Amino acid sequence: MTAHVMTRPESKPVEQVTLRRRRTGLTAHDPAKSAGGYTLFAGQTAEGRVDLVDIDGTLAHRWQMPVRAGRDAVILPNGNLGYNGSHATSAALYPAWDLWHGGDFYEATPEGEVVWHHEDIFHHHDAQWLANGNLLYTVAAPLPADKAARVQGGDPRKDGADGVIQSDIVREVNRNGETVWEWRIWDHLDPADFPIHAIFDRRHWPMINGLSVTKDGLVLMSLRTTSGVIAVDRASGNVVWHVGPDVVAQQHTPVEMEGGSILCFDNGNLRQGSTSPFSRALEFDPKTGATVWSYTDPMPPSFFSPYMGGCQRLWNGNTLICESAFGRLFEVTPEGQTVWEYVIPDFAEYPAPLSKFILGAHNSCFRAHRYEPEQVSWL
């Protein structure tokens, strides 16, 4: 008898990036219901590339900026790019600081020529390019000792040896880099009234991670480690209203809608009354905290970004949502029907020392923005 020799099949390496094994690029599009337009995003691990894709998911334009994204990029009314870059020599304030600092701002033409540059090594998280050409952003600064002693909650085991707790200043600079307005949060909020979530370290209170300005000139600020949104009157510095953790959970990017309601990305970490986290796009009444509109996935845990995130109300009433941690950009109707979805196809690891805190290959972006064709008429 002839012996049969068993042969093993040829090995075929399996892609080890879970998200890449799934579909990327354009994954859904209903032209009849989508608002259309162009979508801009700056990948957190994209080494300074900023991409503008059309509604079919095709790359329409790319900028190559000098530094990787600190947070996001926007197209300004003049057609230039406003870019929030990660400063190469930012202040070293505490171990996780490099995860969310920016501080290297550029304005660049579509051709890539830098026409304005501003640096602030204490900047972190969001920034807003204002209509008057000024830049509004948040910087970290040490909380005065008497105020630091009033910080509640958090995990004291993670306190720094120096005992310093960083806090937040909102700063506006003009085109010459001069400060024209500044607001210190500890002058207006008592840390004892805004406790940090129990499992968080106490190195930064309350960590403003989102900014915007209302039509009446109020400055909206998102408080990450305490879960809340406040509105500040620029003239007096007073806090006009506050919505807290009974409404939002570690939210980002609050923006005023036409009727005065506030749209934000409600991440869902440590949401009160919930043991299974999920994210939602949330529109709420700032006077009462009542929900005006919201979107969650029909199977809620399927939509969840534990960090970053953004929402934009589009011109046809739809909402563009950026599920940041997983690079998923999608558009939903007011009824909650998904009519467009694009998953960023480019993955890379964060550079050191960030790679010690956030492991693996990522396609994440802080926020995405949709533009009508006339807003990018230079294409």
- 49-81 confidence digits (pLDDT tens): 999 999 999 999 999 999 999 999 999 999 999
The 8 Å CB, 24+ separation contacts for 310-314 are 310/72, 310/252, 310/253, 310/265, 310/366, 310/367, 310/368, 311/253, 311/255, 311/263, 311/264, 311/265, 311/281, 312/255, 312/368, 312/369, 312/370, 313/255, 313/257, 313/263, 314/35, 314/37, 314/370
Classify residue 9: in a domain, yes or no.
no
Measured CA to CA, the distance from residue 232 to residue 242 in angstroms comes to: 9
**pLDDT tens per residue, range 102-152:** 999 999 999 999 999 999 999 999 999 999 999 999 999 999 999 999 999
- Domain assignment present for residue 74? The answer is yes
Reported as a pLDDT band with limits 50, 70 and 90, residue 15 is confident
Q: Please spell the DSSP secondary structure of 6-36, one letter per residue.
A: P-PPPP-PPP--HHHHS--EEEEE-TTTS--
Q: Tell me if 34 is assigned to some domain.
A: yes
12 falls within a domain: no
What mean pLDDT, rounded, does the chain reach?
95
Domain CATH number, residue 238: 2.130.10.10
Indicate the range of 185-189, 262-266, 274-278, 325-329 predicted with least confidence: 274-278
Is 1 inside a domain boundary? Answer: no
3-state secondary structure 78-135: CCCEEEEEECCCCCCCCCCHHHCECEEEEEECCCCCEEEEEECCCEEEEEEECCCCCE
Count of domains for the chain: 1
Whole domain around residue 297: which residue ranges? 19-376
Q: What is the DSSP string of 194-259?
A: SPBPTTS-SSBSS-EEEEEE-TTSPEEEEETTTTEEEEE-TTT--EEEEE-TTT-SS-EEEEE-TT
Instruction: Tell whether 7 is covered by a domain.
Output: no
Is 339 within a domain?
A: yes
The pLDDT of residue 3: 60
Q: Which of 16-25, 208-217, 249-258 has the lowest mean pLDDT?
A: 16-25
Interatomic CA distance for residues 200 and 187, integer angstroms: 23
Residue 376 burial (CB count, 10 A): 18
Write the CA distances from 237 to 218, 240, 254, integer angstroms: 10, 9, 19
Higher pLDDT, 67 or 17: 67
pLDDT of 356: 82
Buried b (16+ CB within 10 A) or exposed e, 21-48: eeebebeebeeebbbbbbbbbbbbbbeb
Is there a domain that residue 357 lies in? Answer: yes
- Residue percentage of the chain with pLDDT more than 70: 98
Chain centre to alpha carbon of residue 222: 11
* Residue 240 pLDDT > 60: yes
Tens-digit pLDDT profile for residues 202-234: 999 999 999 999 999 999 999 999 999 999 999
